[in-house]
Chain A
């Protein structure tokens, strides 16, 4: 496969295909991942080419999907399981938190858990309830899990490769509203480390830190701010656990202002963690308190209200103005 432009969902599909081809121990499991190719078609065509024993349609039971994946990993397999939507992960939460996350530690390192849990997450697609949530903070709080979220096709391709190769369990949050965004994917490229943040737009006045679906939003914000003479830096965190605090610190030492943007509720969210640590690390560099833009402390609203709930251009720009006003 030469470098080509493809949608983010297709990039994950190509990445899974490559993993299935290169390692017979890799399995793809989940509800509807086989013939249908997943409700978002992320696994399209994989069962046709790799068979039902490699690309496994499972019973409709999320705890069972993760629990059996743990058993398969104990047997030497590397399962990549799909949770159909963010809000459906909770029946599997017990298996992920009490079992998957802790198996390596409690076995004193004797047992590896190379399981990837794919979760299409976030809103903005006009879905019904339980189909638009961003539960990453609930997982980041748990030691033993790694959490990543790509924002573009190239990262989606490469981060999936790296997640599958990791001997640790990785919760792979896929920004479902960016599934159809196209970007260049070069399968010959050499990727950077999985948990490293990247500056996607250089700037001097303020840092916008985001991951997954909000990176694109932040780039739009930076574009709009540029028209007003503001020079914003945009940082794509790429990883929520661990978080690349060194990269955030480096950026903040330059810009002296930080706004963190995510779709998840602000309260106890990843923005709170970033704000606290960056305040500690950069206390004498900061010209303004670290501000956060995200969801409210309310259930994800019905689709007709999600534009109000989700951080959009205006809400982020408002936070930028407030930070710059200090």
Chain B
């Protein structure tokens, strides 16, 4: 199947080729374009929680039950609670660093819940909500930020790859993995997360090239949270990011990243394309990083409060709550119970981090190689002798 013929069958093709889209975004100043008014933005829930019709994507969430809606809400609330706890733990000196996902819960939970167990996820270092959806114990995410390891979970245990710090590298791993799926004749898919800043990296462009050329079943999920540390999206691109895909020969779509239902629907559509052998898709989740880039960052140096206030009005959690309440899909008891569950999670995370043991000294030399290496063996022996030279044998 050619790229042209698959593109012709995608719902967003006409929208993504409209010339007005580029003008609109390149002309804007700051990050002021309001998602609710962007004609290119797929949205199923308004900021007020009102369900809006969408001819192309409604079918992907048509069968969703009230229980599943409450589940999405629960996921977002617990992820935010976990994130807040981790931020607090960093302030208390328990973590060396934390990269908060505050504001990006809908993008992560919506896309994460679209996945099947046999799909494979390649995250950055901020996909705490996606990790939650994959069943990775959130306390495992904290090891690398506490400094006890550089990973912390078995990637194959939940088909959730380790966090990647170097910007954009994982998009190529995702593409290669997807090429492998295609070779295996399997119908699972891969999703690669990255940000607006990563869109400038060569590796991301190369992953677009490779995935298009080999028709790899990969969904590129760009969370455009408007800021790459202090640099706004305007410093990364002069065209809307979702339009990048067109030049590589696959569809791109911009979704309201604060609308969990829209993120769920659009990701399901993109995954379905991948499973049917129709190749890659770029999803740009248009969202906002409400907090700092990491706990080392100070956003007050580069952005004003008005911007954040405008985005807070579009808060993904508040939006779904309004919808649940208006449609009578959740009662007070549900929210109260969730509040209790949330506190329990916070306590569990707090206790788990404080109980996390420092790694064994010899961990330095473990797993450097799968088959061993003479130099590592030699240096391990020297280190052991040095440690043993202390009275208690601990080297402290």
Binding site for B on A (CB under 8 A): 53, 58-59, 61, 63-64, 66-77, 91, 94-95, 98-99, 102, 104-113, 143-144, 146, 166-168, 195, 241-245
A106-B184 CB under 8 A given contacts A67-B207, A74-B173: no
Min CB–CB distance B285 → chain A (angstroms): 22
- A73–B179 alpha-carbon span in the complex (Å): 11
A58 contacts which chain B residues (CB < 8 A)?
Answer: 210
Q: Does B331 contact A (CB under 8 A)?
A: no
Whole-angstrom distance between the Cβ of B18 and the nearest chain A Cβ: 29
CB pair B370 A110 closer than 8 Å: no
Does B339 touch A at the CB level, under 8 Å?
Answer: no
Q: Which segment of B40-48, B155-163, B265-273, B305-313 sits at the interface?
A: B155-163
Interface CB pairs A-B, < 8 A, 19:
A59-B209, A59-B213, A61-B210, A63-B206, A64-B209, A67-B172, A68-B172, A69-B176, A74-B176, A74-B177, A77-B183, A91-B202, A105-B367, A108-B151, A110-B156, A167-B371, A168-B370, A242-B373, A243-B375
Interface of chain B: mostly helix, strand, loop or mixed: helix
- Nearest-Cβ distance from residue B153 to partner chain A, whole angstroms: 8
CA distance A105 to B372 in the complex (A): 12
Q: Are A105 and B150 in contact (CB under 8 A)?
A: yes
A74-B370 CB under 8 A given contacts A61-B206, A68-B179, A99-B173: no
New A-B pairs, 12, CB < 8 Å, besides A75-B184, A95-B203: A59-B209, A64-B172, A67-B203, A68-B210, A72-B179, A74-B176, A105-B367, A106-B149, A107-B155, A108-B149, A108-B151, A143-B376
B174 at the interface (CB under 8 A from A): yes
Docked complex Cα distance between A70 and B171 (Å): 11
A69 to chain B, nearest CB (A): 6
Contact B176–A95 (Cβ < 8 Å) = no
| Residue B55 CB within 8 A of the other chain | no
Chain B, range 162-185, C-beta contacts under 8 Å to A = 162, 164, 166, 169, 171-181, 183-184
B210 to chain A, nearest CB (A): 5
CB distance from B35 to the nearest CB of A (A): 32
Interface pair A110/B150, CB less than 8 Å apart: no
| A168–B371 touching, CB < 8 Å | yes
B369–A94 contact, CB under 8 A? Answer: no
Instruction: Report Cα–Cα, A107/B163, bound state, in Å.
Output: 10
Known contacts A72-B176, A77-B183: A64-B369 contact under CB 8 Å? no
Residues of A with C-beta under 8 A to B181 = 75
With A53-B183, A166-B371 already in contact, the answer to whether A107 and B210 are too (CB < 8 A) is no
Q: Is the CB of A241 within 8 A of B375?
A: yes
CB nearest neighbor in B for A57: B213
Is B52 part of the binding interface, using a Cβ–Cβ cutoff of 8 Å?
A: no
Q: Would A109 and B370 count as touching, CB distance under 8 A?
A: yes
Chain A hits for B369, CB < 8 A: 104, 144, 146, 168
Q: CA separation between A113 and B164, bound complex, in Å?
A: 16
CB distance from A244 to the nearest CB of B (A): 8
Q: How far is the CA of A108 from the CA of B155 in the complex (A)?
A: 10
Give B292-307 interface residues, CB cut-off 8 Å to A.
none
Task: Tell me, in angstroms, the Cα distance from A243 to B184 when the chains sit together.
Answer: 38
Question: How many angstroms between the C-alpha atoms of A59 and B184 in the bound complex?
Answer: 21
Nearest chain A residue, comparing its CB with the CB of B183: A53
Give every chain A residue within 8 A of B184 (Cβ-Cβ).
Answer: 75
Residue among B162, B178, B184 with most chain A CB within 10 A: B162
Q: Report if B351 contacts A (CB, 8 A).
A: no
B154 on the interface (CB 8 Å rule)? yes
**Within 8 Å of chain A (Cβ to Cβ): is B63?**
no
> Is B368 a contact partner of A98 (Cβ separation < 8 A)?
no
B137 at the interface (CB under 8 A from A): no
Query: In the complex, which residue of chain A has the Cβ closest to the Cβ of B375?
Result: A242
Contact call B374/A242, Cβ cutoff below 8 A: yes
For residue B174, which residues in chain A have a CB less than 8 angstroms away from its CB?
71
CB distance from A49 to the nearest CB of B (A): 17
The residue among B151, B176, B207, B213 with the most chain A CB atoms within 10 A of its own CB is B176
Write out the residue numbers on chain A whose beta carbons fall within 8 Å of the beta carbon of B180.
71-72, 74-77
Contact of B367 among A74, A108, A244 (CB under 8 A): A108
Q: Which residue of the partner chain B has the closest CB to A98?
A: B166
Residue among A61, A112, A242 making CB contact with B370, cutoff 8 Å: A112
Q: How far is the CB of B243 from chain A (nearest CB, A)?
A: 21
Q: Which residues of the partner chain B approach A94 to less than 8 Å between Cβ atoms? A: 166, 169, 203
Interchain CB contact (< 8 A) of B175 among A71, A91, A108, A109: A71
Quick check: is B343 within 8 A (CB to CB) of the other chain? no
Residues of A within 8 A of B202 (CB): 63, 91
Assembly CA distance A111 to B152 (angstroms): 12
- When chains A and B are docked, how far (Å) is the Cα of A234 from the Cα of B97? 53
Shortest 4 CB-CB contacts between residues of A and residues of B: A71-B176, A67-B172, A75-B180, A68-B176
CB within 8 Å for A75 and B206 given contacts A99-B166, A107-B151, A168-B371 = no
What's the least CB distance linking A6 to chain B, in Å?
A: 28
**Cβ of A59: which chain B residues have Cβ within 8 Å of it?**
206, 209-210, 213
B366 on interface, CB distance cutoff 8 Å: yes
Nearest neighbor of A103 in chain B, beta-carbon distance: B162
Residue of A nearest to B154 (CB): A110
Provide the bound-state CA to CA distance between A73 and B209, in Å. 19
Give B157's nearest chain A residue, CB to CB.
Answer: A110
Kindly list chain A residues whose C-beta atoms are within 8 Å of the C-beta of B172: 63-64, 66-68, 70-71, 95
B149 contacts across to A, CB distance below 8 A: 106, 108
Complex Cα spacing A111 to B173, Å: 13
Q: How far is the CA of A75 from the CA of B161 in the complex (A)?
A: 11
Residues of B close to A108: CB separation below 8 A: 149, 151, 154, 366-367
Q: Is the CB of B371 within 8 A of A72?
A: no
CA of A68 to CA of B162 in the docked complex: distance in angstroms? 16
Contacts of A109 in B (CB 8 A): 366-367, 370
A75 to B177, CA, bound (A): 5
